[in-house]
Amino acid sequence: MKNHIRDLRATRNMSQEELARVLEVSRQTVNAIENDKYDPMLPLAFKIAKVFGKTIEDIFQPDRQKK
Amino acid sequence: MEQINTKTGARKSHRGLLSAVFFVLAYLAARIVLKQEEFDELVRVLAALLPVVPFAWMLWEFIKGIQGMDELKQRIQLEALVVAFPLTLILLMTLGLLEIAIKLPPEDLSYRHVWAMLPLFYYLGLAFAKRRY
């Protein structure tokens, strides 16, 4: 799963730490999601979408290379 | 264990540490009593059961600590256990088969020492899981 969280965060001048605080997760979790190492569960994905005022589909796209 | 809410997390980890200290003290006390042959059976049984209470408390704090983690950290814990559990099975199977094959020295290679290996397997699994994220 690919996502645009890093770009969205940069446009809002938010650090990973700040985003993590808003989402009530650890910075490690934000970092892992941004680097496509971890796909969040739906409640967290909705939270992320809400923080950036977008839909889940706007932020997360399936990785087409993976089967 | 990293917590999201710093104050609550610190309190939880203090309780976790305290429960671990109580367990170690209870375990050492039990071992000292059990080494003495002069105590009667009831005292020895009570001494043997003494570490169970602080251990259960420690386990309870550990579970609460995991419940307070975010989803990635919970996943890391799960992956750590996914590594630790089969390693424990391998160890038990190996000891079992070796015991059939040869006479194992009970003081060095007995099942009673297996539980002490479990935290080692868990931390091994934790290190392995943490590297992925």
Strand, coil or helix: B99:
helix
B107 or B25, which is more confident: B25
CA distance to partner chain B, nearest, from residue A61 (Å): 20
B62 and B75 share a domain? no
B63 and B77 share a domain? no
Least confident interval from B7-16, B18-27, B39-48, B62-71: B7-16
Q: Determine the residue among B5, B70, B77, B126 to mutate to test chain A binding: the one whose Cβ has the most chain A Cβ atoms within 10 Å.
A: B70
- Which burial class, exposed, middle or buried, applies to B67 when counting CB atoms under 10 A from its CB (0-12, 13-18, 19+)? exposed
> A32 to chain B: which residues are within 8 Å by CB?
72, 133
Whether A26 is covered by a domain: the verdict is yes
Q: Is A55 on the interface with B (CB under 8 A)?
A: no
Report how many domains make up chain B: 2
Report d(CA B4, CA B50) in Å as an integer: 34
- Quick check: B71 pLDDT over 80? yes
B1 or A5, which is more confident: A5
Please report the pLDDT score of residue B109 as a whole number. 74
Q: Is A38 on the interface with B (CB under 8 A)?
A: yes
Please report the pLDDT score of residue B130 as a whole number. 93
Q: Alpha helices, DSSP H only, in chain B?
A: 6-35, 41-49, 52-67, 71-101, 114-132
Long-range contacts of B108-114 (CB under 8 A, 24+ apart): B114/B88
- Quick check: B91 pLDDT over 50? yes
Q: Which residues of B touch A (CB under 8 A)?
A: 2, 4, 70-73, 75, 132-133
Q: What's the rounded mean pLDDT across residues B56-61?
A: 95
Residues spanned by the domain of B19: 1-69
Residues spanned by the domain of A33: 2-55
pLDDT, tens digit (0-9, with 9 covering 90-100), for A52-67? 999 999 999 998 765 4
Q: Are B68 and B4 in contact (CB under 8 A)?
A: yes
Cα B81–Cα B83–Cα B87 angle in degrees, nearest 5: 110
Contacts of A18 (CB under 8 A, 6+ apart): none
Q: What's the rounded mean pLDDT across residues A13-29?
A: 96
Share of chain B above pLDDT 70, in %: 92
B77 and B111 share a domain? yes
B74 and B94 share a domain? yes
Long-range contacts of B109-116 (CB under 8 A, 24+ apart): B114/B88
Q: What's the rounded mean pLDDT across residues A16-39?
A: 96
Strand, coil or helix: B22:
helix
CA distance to partner chain A, nearest, from residue B132 (Å): 8
B32 and B85 share a domain? no
**Which pLDDT band holds residue B5 (cuts at 50, 70, 90)?**
low
Q: Are A60 and A2 in contact (CB under 8 A)?
A: yes
- Quick check: B96 pLDDT over 70? yes
pLDDT, tens digit (0-9, with 9 covering 90-100), for B10-34? 777 788 899 999 999 999 999 999 9
Report how many domains make up chain A: 1
Share of chain A above pLDDT 70, in %: 96
- Which burial class, exposed, middle or buried, applies to B74 when counting CB atoms under 10 A from its CB (0-12, 13-18, 19+)? middle
